[in-house]
Amino acid sequence: MASTLERPCPCPGSAQIPIDLIISKGFVLTRGDLKVTDAHDNLLYRVDSRSTDQDASSKNKNRRILLDATKNPIISIIPCNSNGGAWQGYRGEGLEWKDLIFRVERTLHSRLRTELEVFFGGENSEGLVPDFRVKGSPFHRSCIIYRGDSIAAQTSAMYKLGKPIVGRRKFRLTIYPGIDHSFVVALLVIFFDGKN
């Protein structure tokens, strides 16, 4: 499947070893206030909330666009229902079936625990095994993204000797080899949707 997800990541050495990135989150994610930087504070990705006149009366009015450092759209992230239980990710700013990359279904949602199942393409997911699973606590800024039984990526608060070294709005993202970084960031946008 030729997709944005097969593009090489701009992060050096990401194919060989796990890489740590820093997520900075603003007060309200729906404003698009999220950015991803490397350890040297170089911007890699940011999220933009966009709606056009054509989107204003449709479900697409809450879409987010994952942009690279040069503001090129990589993935459009769109909620499929009003309660945030299902999402779809499309290539670039596309919204057509041919541009669909993945679908996400929220299988558990509580104040302290959220779980997502991720399916590539547009097939009906009923009875299918998810391609990825996301489990964790948005409140604690911690989640693990699984591909099968393997860890693909994980987030964690930034601690030093058991004490937070930064506030809750900044946390670490570790991505393991062989996983597209933009795809992981898109999943985190969904995982942390609306959680301060």
Taken in order 77, 180, 105, 109, the sign of the CA dihedral is negative
0.85 exceeded by the pTM?
Answer: no
Pairing mode of beta strands 19-25, 43-49: unpaired
24 token code pair: 């900075």
The tens digit of pLDDT for each residue in 56-114 reads: 445 556 788 999 999 999 999 999 876 668 999 999 988 888 899 999 999 987 778 99
Strand residue runs (E) in the chain? 19-25, 34-37, 43-49, 64-68, 73-79, 86-91, 100-109, 114-120, 132-137, 142-147, 150-157, 159-160, 163-164, 170-175
The tens digit of pLDDT for each residue in 34-49 reads: 899 998 999 999 998 7
With CA atoms as reference, report the closest residue to 104 among 135, 74, 138: 135
Report residue 31's pLDDT band, with 50, 70 and 90 as the boundaries: very low
Calpha distance 25→168 (Å, rounded): 8
pLDDT for 88 equals: 93
Domain boundaries, the chain: 18-191
Q: Phi and psi of 123, rounded to 5°?
A: -65, 155
Which of 3.40.190.10, 1.10.150.120, 1.10.3720.10, 2.40.160.200 would CATH assign to domain 18-191? 2.40.160.200
**Distance between the two ends of the chain, CA-based, in angstroms?**
35
Other residues' Cβ atoms within 10 Å of the Cβ of residue 36: 23
